[in-house]
Amino acid sequence: MVIGVLVEITNKNVDKLFYYKVPKNLEKDIRIGIRVKVPFANKKLEGFVLEITNKKIDMDLKEVIAIVDNEIVLTEELIKLGKEMKELTLASLISCYQAMLPKALKAKNNTLINKKYDVYYRLNKKEEKFNSKQQEIISLFKDKKLVPRQEIINISLSSLNTLVKKGVLTKVEKEHYRLEHNNEKVKKHPLTAEQKEVVRKVDMDRFNTYLLYGVTGSGKTEVYMELIEKALEKGKRALVLVPEISLTEQMIDRFEKRFGTSIATLHSSLSEGEKYDEYRRISKGEADVVIGARSAVFAPISNLGIVVIDEEHSESYKQDSTPRYNAIDIAKIRAKDNNIPLILGSATPLLESFARANKKVYKLLTLKNRINTTLPAIEIVDLNKEIKSMQGHFSSTLIEKMKEKLARGEQVILLLNRRGYSSFVTCQNCGEVIKCPHCDITLTYHKTSHNLRCHYCGYATKFYDKCPNCQEHALKDLGVGTQKIEEELKNLFPDNKVIRMDFDTTSRKGMHEKIINTFKNHEADILLGTQVVAKGLDFPNVTLVGVINADTSLNIPDFRSSENTFSLLLQVAGRSGRRNKGEVVIQTYNPDHYAIKLLNEHNYEKFYQQEMMIRRNLKYPPYYYLVHIRVSSKKEDLLSLETKKIIGALKRNLKETIILGPSISNPYKLNNNFRLSIILKYKYEERLNDTLNKLIDHYKGNNNIKIDIDFNPRHF
């Protein structure tokens, strides 16, 4: 027997199958989709078996060393999906498969994760004579087929051993999964007439992409669960994607109350052992509903009946590192291959999605009304006029509204889309700005740890007030971060508890859930956070949402900045008034910007029309497709020279494409690499993939120049 193995090396030079002979003693255990250990270039490497053949290969083949897996790691569907993903992203095939798997199942993983077992005993036969301890053990089986070992040894370990020796009891091992799921089901909510109509329009027996456009609080999750129940009734399974870990926890809670322990979860806050267990539960068909973040789109679910993507507008569905896939594209492939519906839900759909719905490419479903309450009233505060009455970063309007709500025992959510204590540190004497030594970016001051940190490469150093340039003790932190706002809140509202939710406070396992539960149980009055607080969270007692500075994301030099700002602000506004009348205060220096003005009306459609005119004039999506080519090198002169050559090659080969650049990437220097960007805009370009593949091939052996290609980037 001969097998084709895709080895663990991500280098494009070896992105192909290598053939090995299988020793006779291993042949019976060889299957497509398992991992094997093979000799490769004087090393022992792991790889995936993708082909089994008896054909003769005209060369001396090396032998497989060992089989790594007893169970199939890559299903037939995932193998096919990886090949399609390679075509979509131009990444190596092995990197596509590596992206699909939890760490414990990836080739090149050195961490051994053991399965855990619970030990039980089964009663086989009854002897005529038992002593008192043995009889007490036998009586445990009166109403049970299996009894846990611990329960038996609490009576007598020696009696247990005697009963096993006599064949009266047999040891049974059942695998114990690390993650526990709640089995407490609650009565489901009756659907409104509007929700029922949406459910009725979804054809469960064929592939269609549906855009569920529903205002915040309109009950999209109830619609998802009703559709999933229909899939389960057909004996099928469901996949649900959410954009944030914090949303995963809340969604899991709601789904477990509806569907019990048939839920499995996949997201980054799980331990490697928990991910390993959940992945195998899914693979073995022990979970009917899988909920997770972006990478859960690769879950090995058989007999898939529906795919749901909540908050489909979110940037987090796009992977920023190789392979640069979009989970929505992968979900479409899976839904189409299984001939099932794909549901994309959002209160602020991606412009491309809404355009496709208007063109009938997607089927549009709408929920126009909130459940139980009306949409919150939004007040725009012009900070240009309030500058003299500001207390720190708070306008008098926001402070008065907060006092009013807190006095009534209600809760407040505040959004600041930036973590840390301040944006940057500068010298008041010479003007020096403290930057990362590896990146062209300012360091952020974190007060709790008293250090300066780069949010790009992770570099950190202690903060000293002495300037490294002029040696004066004149360093001062400027700008604003969540830690500084938290400090101001404690001074303004000393009698109210503030809880902060950002990357720094949620980096430890379980902290998302802990913070959410603390606020949900009203153990805190004010929740301050970055954009993680804007999406999908449902707190019944929140009646006020405040946005500290709406301009943070509006001023980013990116063609999506207006869309991202409008979406973020409308989403966070939707956290207010979910059960009682709610209000929203948005502080801004740009009150006349259309992305801010249209928030007053909660008017997504009007924003869509305005933004589409700009996109059409500037030839941006959805009117044109984009490709972002990033060229990087540690050698600045070489980078400039090679990028000019690349531009020349693109212009010679791509006649139907607008080519922009090279321009300086933001940041220009990252991890000691200088970076330049090239942007391609096109409607149809027959030679695009062929040209880009040749470009990748040309530089694949070059250690001085790196090429990264991103199709339809969410930002630059």
* 94 pLDDT tier (thresholds 50, 70, 90): very high
Q: Are residues 406 and 431 in the same domain?
A: no
Q: Which one, of 352, 249, 330, lies nearest residue 292 by Cα? A: 249
Q: Are residues 363 and 391 in the same domain?
A: no
How many domains, the chain?
A: 6
Q: What is the pLDDT of residues 222-252, one digit of tens each?
A: 999 999 999 999 999 999 999 877 666 778 8
- 693 within a domain of the structure (yes/no): yes
Q: Are residues 406 and 539 in the same domain?
A: yes
Q: Are residues 239 and 331 in the same domain?
A: yes
Q: Are residues 594 and 706 in the same domain?
A: no
230 close to 341: Cβ distance less than 8 angstroms: no
Say how many C-beta atoms besides its own lie within 10 A of residue 84's C-beta. 15
Q: What is the pLDDT of residues 529-583, one digit of tens each?
A: 888 888 778 889 999 999 998 888 887 778 899 999 999 999 999 999 888 899 9
- 267 within a domain of the structure (yes/no): yes
* 458 pLDDT tier (thresholds 50, 70, 90): confident
Q: Are residues 491 and 543 in the same domain?
A: yes
> CATH code at 601?
3.40.50.300
Q: Are residues 148 and 244 in the same domain?
A: no
* 475 pLDDT tier (thresholds 50, 70, 90): confident
Strands 2-7 and 18-21: antiparallel
Tokens linked to 518:
């603390």
Q: What is the pLDDT of residues 276-320, one digit of tens each?
A: 888 888 988 989 999 999 999 999 999 999 999 999 999 999 998
User: Would you state the pLDDT for residue 421?
Assistant: 43
Q: What is the pLDDT of residues 166-221, one digit of tens each?
A: 888 999 887 777 666 666 666 788 999 999 999 999 999 999 999 999 999 899 99
Tokens linked to 472:
């004066």
- 93 within a domain of the structure (yes/no): yes
Q: How far apart are CA 96 and CA 186, in angstroms?
A: 40
The single-letter code of the amino acid at 410 is: E
- 118 within a domain of the structure (yes/no): no
Q: Are residues 540 and 395 in the same domain?
A: yes
- 639 within a domain of the structure (yes/no): yes
CA torsion 220-226-230-231 (nearest 10°) is: 50
- 430 within a domain of the structure (yes/no): yes
- Could you list the residue range(s) of the whole structural domain that residue 95 is in? 2-105
* 420 pLDDT tier (thresholds 50, 70, 90): very low
- 186 within a domain of the structure (yes/no): no
Q: Are residues 439 and 559 in the same domain?
A: no
- 119 within a domain of the structure (yes/no): no
Q: Are residues 143 and 90 in the same domain?
A: no
Q: How far apart are CA 459 and CA 588, in angstroms?
A: 32
Last residue of a domain, one of 167, 201, 218: 167
List of residues 6+ apart from 617 with CB closer than 8 A: none
DSSP 8-state assignment for residue 373: S
Last residue of a domain, one of 586, 617, 648: 617
Last residue of a domain, one of 587, 617, 647: 617
* 105 pLDDT tier (thresholds 50, 70, 90): confident
Q: Which one, of 362, 339, 343, 342, lies nearest residue 352 by Cα? A: 362
Q: What is the pLDDT of residues 345-360, one digit of tens each?
A: 999 999 999 999 999 9
> CATH code at 16?
3.40.1440.60
Q: Are residues 506 and 552 in the same domain?
A: yes
Q: How far apart are CA 412 and CA 163, in angstroms?
A: 63
When pLDDT is averaged across residues 487-512 and rounded to a whole number, the result is: 87
46 close to 107: Cβ distance less than 8 angstroms: yes
Q: How far apart are CA 358 and CA 361, in angstroms?
A: 8
Q: How far apart are CA 467 and CA 54, in angstroms?
A: 71
Q: Are residues 226 and 93 in the same domain?
A: no
The yes-or-no verdict on residue 121 having pLDDT over 50 is yes
- Radius of gyration for the alpha carbons in the chain, expressed in angstroms and rounded: 29
